[in-house]
A and B are shown apart, each in its own frame.
Chain A
Amino acid sequence: MFLIRLRAEFEKKGRAKYISHLDLNRCMLRTFRRSRLPIWYTEGFNPHPYYAFALALSLGFESGCEILDFNLNEEIPFDEVRDRLNAVMPEGMRIVRVWEQKMKITAIKEAEYQFSLVSDDAEKLYGDIGKLLSQENILIEKKTKKGMKTVDIKPDMKIISCENNNGRIDVCLRMPAGTQTNFNPNLFIDALRNFSQTGFSAEKITRTGIFCDNNMKFE
């Protein structure tokens, strides 16, 4: 049977950031049905439409670059696929681009995040971030399938930028992501909370990019 493997990049913002990953699955199924696109069904005892998200996004995070893979039974122009999905998407979700799958999901190595840390004493917090980053390792408890485990996030974490902008510290960092290791930016935020005496809140955590080895954008 004819089958074309597509990939879509989509935004998840505003009210849509409260859709959990499990609910997003159901939501996408209904979006496909509303679009009436000829989506490919698995063949087997219980046929169901096939689609998959490259990475899970934590509840409450926004993103401009989520990846959705699915197959169609017919060749339809990419822009038309995008428009038909966007016409029936929930508020806050929007397909940016559709293309034919080039890389394997396993090629994903990193994800980039931006967020702001808001504090009454941003000056001191900014200094604390510097001190935390200059440490040899940054240890933090991480929940795994086998229970709590202490991990060192220092070796794999990259700070892209960190600026103190009038009381809010804007951070851009990259964390390992993909099928092997997945570090949530909250690990860094928690580590900072443990390390610093300064109270702060983390706002507008947004995923801004998904990358492969050598800084290559995932396509």
Chain B
Amino acid sequence: MTLPVDTILVLVILTGFLILGTVRLHTAIRLCAIQGVAIGLLPVAAAGEGTSLRVVLLGLFIIALKGVAFPRLLRRAIRESATSGEMQPYVGSTASIVVGILALIAAFWIDSRLSFLPDTHSLVAPVAFFTIIVGLFLIVARKLAITQVIGYLILENGIYVFGLAIALEVPVIVELGVLLDMFVAVFVMGIAIFRINREFNHMDSDQLRNLKG
């Protein structure tokens, strides 16, 4: 049962690279949604024959959240802020892809150094590290507030995969609490972007620099 898992993991890496390379906001949001769906499917695929109802329901919930709800919130934030629809990166797409390649190498290196992880699927941990690095990179290397939210989502995806990598049985209440927090976080960030935009007539976090010292 490793083929579906591998396919999904490769899809996660691929979407990571594509997000690094794109300059269009809508594309980035769509890619982020695809990655979210892939991550929702991951535990179901990993469980294989032994899929329990809990795993399926949780997977569906994640897909609904990351694949549908978050992209909607983000698109709405873009619509109401009349942006050009470009990412306006500090670091251009070619350089970003190079960073992605380095991140992938680093992820495999970290994984090889940390042989402590319980023997789950060999690709899961490196993919988690790669996704986390990509998320952090997007947060610091893109100007728009909304792309920082996308970076945050990618980071969360990476941490979720990491949770799978260490094969931990997280109680449902905690898992739901975490997802609820995430949902509220994106919601709050969406409102924040809307209010920033109304106040400043832009949503360029680069210009949020009046507070210093």
A and B associate: no
